[in-house]
């Protein structure tokens, strides 16, 4: 496929205490330039940047999260990168919560990647968003219990806060209601397969 651009994986924005989610399977979620707050707020008289408690949430890398908020050059270690490519047809994610194995592609379709079924997310308060299970953005190649980082423009810092939650399609059975070990958590997340018609 032809590469169009590379960028940083924007999950969602929070402004006026409302969340505006991006579909990780669409080109709009791959922002070419990173900023702890990639938007300003305008009314009929003026525009303001980082003057309120607005936030940006970015998909995270697999790097071990630091214990304290971080800023400057350190941020680049924790923000996931993305690439936008021109494809011959739309890619589709397939999920199967009934088995620990990812489902096969339909006849005539080609496999792109296997992953874990990521369906919803929320930050501080009750704001967040979700992903269509048809979107390739709902099939993350790697599992991480806290797969995104919160950045605050007013402070210019980012952090993996304890009050953010990720939601995953699960193969969890009724006898296992609490999973604390990361390997246990990953084993109970449904697997997925991203397929494309070539």
Could you give the count of Cα atoms lying within 13 Å of 62 in the half-sphere of its Cβ?
5
pLDDT of residue 52: 76
**Chain-wide mean pLDDT for the chain?**
89
Stretch 5-25: mean pLDDT, rounded? 92
- How do residues 54-88 score in pLDDT, each as one tens digit? 899 999 999 999 999 999 999 999 999 999 999 99
Share of the chain above pLDDT 90, in %: 64
**CATH superfamily entry for domain 2-196:** Collagen IV, non-collagenous (2.170.240.10)
Question: What are the contacts of 104-109 at 24+ separation with CB within 8 A?
Answer: 104/193, 105/193, 105/195, 106/195, 108/197, 109/195, 109/196, 109/197, 109/198
Residue 68 token pair:
């304290």
pLDDT of residue 174: 42
pLDDT of residue 11: 96
pLDDT of residue 169: 92
Residue 22's Cβ-count burial label (10 Å; 0-12, 13-18, 19+) is buried
Give yes or no for residue 125 having a pLDDT over 70.
Answer: no
Stretch 139-161: mean pLDDT, rounded? 91
Residue-range domain boundaries for the chain: 2-196
CA distance 158 to 14: 14
Give yes or no for residue 134 having a pLDDT over 50.
Answer: yes
pLDDT of residue 61: 96
C-alpha pair distances (Å), 40 with each of 8, 12, 128, 149: 19, 15, 20, 20
Stretch 23-50: mean pLDDT, rounded? 91
Per-residue pLDDT band at 186 (split at 50, 70, 90): confident
Share of the chain above pLDDT 70, in %: 93
Strand partners, 116: 140, 191
Give yes or no for residue 190 having a pLDDT over 80.
Answer: yes
Per-residue pLDDT band at 9 (split at 50, 70, 90): very high
Give yes or no for residue 142 having a pLDDT over 80.
Answer: yes
């Amino acid at each position: 496929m032809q590469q169009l651009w590379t960028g940083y994986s924007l999950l969602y924005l929070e402004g006026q205490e409302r969340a505006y989610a991006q579909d990780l399977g669409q080109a709009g979620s791959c922002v070419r330039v990173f900023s702890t707050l990639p938007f300003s707020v305008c009314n009929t008289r003026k525009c303001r940047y980082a003057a309120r408690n607005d936030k940006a949430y970015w998909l995270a890398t697999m790097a071990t999260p630091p214990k304290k908020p971080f800023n400057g050059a350190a941020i680049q270690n924790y923000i996931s990168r993305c690439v936008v490519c021109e494809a011959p047809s739309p890619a589709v994610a397939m999920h199967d919560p009934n088995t620990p194995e990812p489902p096969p592609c339909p006849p005539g379709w080609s496999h792109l990647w296997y992953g874990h079924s990521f369906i919803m997310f929320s930050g501080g308060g009750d704001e967040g968003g979700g992903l269509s299970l048809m979107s390739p953005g709902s099939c993350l190649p790697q599992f991480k219990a806290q797969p995104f980082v919160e950045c605050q423009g007013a402070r210019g810092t980012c952090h993996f806060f304890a009050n953010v939650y990720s939601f995953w399609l699960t193969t969890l059975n009724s006898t296992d209601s609490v999973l604390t070990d990361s390997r246990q958590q990953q084993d109970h997340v449904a697997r997925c397969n991203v397929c494309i018609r070539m």
